[in-house]
Amino acid sequence: MEEKNINFNFDNSYVKLSDIFYSIQNPNKVPDPKLAVLNNDLAENLGLNAKALESDIGIDILSGNKIYEGSNPIAQAYAGHQFGYFTMLGDGRAILLGEHITPKGERVDIQLKGSGLTPYSRGGDGKAALGPMIREYIISEAMFGLGIPTTRGLAVVKTGDSIVREKIEPGAILTRIASSHIRVGTFQYAAQYTSLNNLKELADYTINRHYKEALDTENKYLYLLEEVIRKQSDLIAKWLHVGFIHGVMNTDNMSISGETIDYGPCAFIDKYDPNTVFSSIDSQGRYAYGNQPYIAAWNLARFAETLIPLLDDDKEKAVKLAQDAILKFNYIYKEKYISGMRLKLGLFTEEKEDENLIYELLGLMQKYKLDYTNTFRSLTLNKLSEEEIFEKDDFKVWNKKWSERLDKEGKSQEEVTNLMKSVNPSVIPRNHRVEEAIEAAVKKDDYSIMKKLLEVLENPYDYSDKQEEYTKLPKETKIPYRTFCGT
C-alpha cells in the first residue's frame, strides 16, 4: 500500500493566516503505533480509503510518525476562560495536520489529539491516554447518531508509550475530524494578544469558512455574532433534550462552527436532576446539566466582547449591538428548548400550556428520581403503566393533562408514537456501558464490547430488539459516578 492510496486531499487555509495564530509543529514520533479502532463509515464519507488507513503506512500517518504529502502540521494558538479564569492556552497536545476537502467539497480539519509536545504544552506532556481517547470516540459517535452537531473520531491509535497519569496508562492518539477548530478562545486570543488587523483577519477567515452569507449583510461581524449565538443555542438545547452534560464548557471548548467539541469528563444524565455534575474537577457545579444554557450565554458574552472593535467604529454603538445580540440568547434558546421538548411529548402544535406541561413532568421526574431517557422511552412506548410512578397521584394528574392535550391535536396514536420515537432516543451511551467498553479495551485489548455498543448507538431512535439490553440501568451503588478529564 502506498501513502497516496489513503486519498487525503489537503488544502490548508489556516496556515495562510498570519503566523501569530499558530506554530509550525510536527507531531512527535511514537515508539510502536497500533490501530485500536478505525471509523470505516466516516472514512468512506470523507472519501478516504479505509483499507489504506489500516495498513502500516496508514497507521504511520494516524500516529504522526509520517507526514502525508500536502499536510502542513501546526499547533493552533488560542486562549480561554477556564472555570471563569482567563489564560493563554493553545493546542498543547494536538496537531492540526491540515484541512481535507471531501468528495462533496466540504472542508474539514484533520487533527491528531495526543501527539506530543508543542509550544503551548505549558506543564503538560502533550500526550493522551487510551481510555479518554476511546471515551471521546464513543461519545462523539453517539452524539452523531443522535443527530447533534459534533466533531468525530476517525481513528484511535495506541502509541506504544506508557504515560503517567494517576496511574501508568497506555498512550493513544485520536484522529479528530471537525468542521474547524476555531473556538471562542481563538477570538479571545486574537482580541487579547494580537492587533486589530489580526482580529479582523480571524473574523474574516471565520466568515469565509463558516458564515459566508454574512457577506451579503450590512454588518458582517454582527451577523457572525448573531449566527454563532443561534448555532450555540440550538446546540445547547439539543444537549439538554438528550440529557448530555459536556462537563468542561470553558470558552476554549466552545466551537464557533456550533459543533460539540473537546469531550473530556462528559456524560449523560441518568436520574433527572438539573444539578447533576459528573466531572471530578467541577466541585462547584459550574457546568452542571441545568447550568449549561447560562454558561453558554456567559461564554457567548465573552465572544461578543472580542468583536466589539469590529461591530462599529463608535464604541458605544458597538457595545449596544453586542449587548442586544447577547440578550437575545435566552429567548432563542428557550424557544428551541421548548419546541424540542414539545416533540418529545408527541405534540405537533404549540399551545401556551405546553411549557407547564413540560416543566411539571420534569418536576415529577426530579421528585421521584426517574431516569430521564427511560421515562421518555416509556412515555413513547406507552409503557409507563408498568412502572411505580404510574400509581402516584401527582403523576396521574399530569398524565391526564397530557392525554387531554394530545386529544386536542386529534392525531392518531401511531402518528404520536412515530413522532416521539423520532426524538426520544431509546439508547444513550450509559455511563456503566461506556466504562465497561473502555475497561475491556484498555485492560484486555478487547474492542468487541465497544464495537457492540457503537452499533446500537448508531441508530438511537430505532427502538430495535438488540437495543433493549442497553436501556437497562446499572445496579444501584452508593458511590456516585465520576468522570475525569484524563489530561
x/- binding map, residues 245-284, to Mg ion, per CB under 5 A? -------xx--------x----------------------
Asked if residues 76 and 89 have their Cβ atoms less than 8 Å apart, the reply is: no
**Any binding-site annotation on 176?**
yes
Smaller CB separation from Mg ion, 226 or 262: 262
Catalytic residue among 109, 161, 252, 282: 252
Residue 246 Cβ vs ligand AMP, minimum distance, rounded to whole Å? 11
Give per-residue burial for 119-141: e unless 16+ CB within 10 Å, then b: ebbeeebbbbbbbbbbbbbbbbb
CB nearer to ligand AMP: pick between 78 and 463: 78
Task: For residue 129, list its beta bridge partners.
Answer: 171
Active site residue 252: yes
Q: Which of 181, 186, 185 is nearest to 80 (CA)?
A: 185
- How far separated are the first and last CA of the chain, in Å rounded? 35
Closer residue to ligand AMP in complex, CB, 141/169: 169
- Check residue 226 for interaction with Mg ion (CB under 5 A): no
270 is in an annotated binding site: no
The whole-angstrom separation of Cα 355 and Cα 330 is 15
Can you read off the three cell numbers belonging to residue 229? Answer: 449565538
Instruction: Check whether 275 is labelled as a binding-site residue.
Output: no
Q: Pick out residues in 113-152 that bind ligand AMP (CB under 6 A).
A: 120-121, 124-127
Residue 30 CB, shortest distance to Mg ion, in Å, is: 22
Among 91, 109, 226, 234, binds ligand AMP (CB under 6 A): 91
Residue 253 labelled as part of a binding site = yes
3-state secondary structure of 448: helix
The annotation status of 125 as a binding-site residue, yes or no, is yes
* 239 in Cβ contact with 287 (< 8 Å): no
Footprint (CB under 5 A) of Mg ion, residues 58-117: none
Which of residues 89 and 266 has its CB atom nearest to ligand AMP in the complex?
Answer: 89
Strands 128-129 and 85-88, bridge-based pairing? unpaired
Closest residue to ligand AMP, judged by C-beta, is: 124
Could you tell me which of 188, 181, 182 has the C-alpha nearest to residue 81? 188
In the chain, DSSP finds a helix count (H) and a strand count (E) of: 15, 12
Query: What are the beta bridge partners of residue 95?
Result: 112
- The single residue among 247, 264, 346, 460 that binds ligand AMP, judged by CB under 6 A, is 264
Q: Which residues bind ligand AMP (CB under 6 A)?
A: 89-93, 120-121, 124-127, 248, 253, 262, 264, 485, 487
Give the residue numbers annotated as catalytic, written as ranges: 252
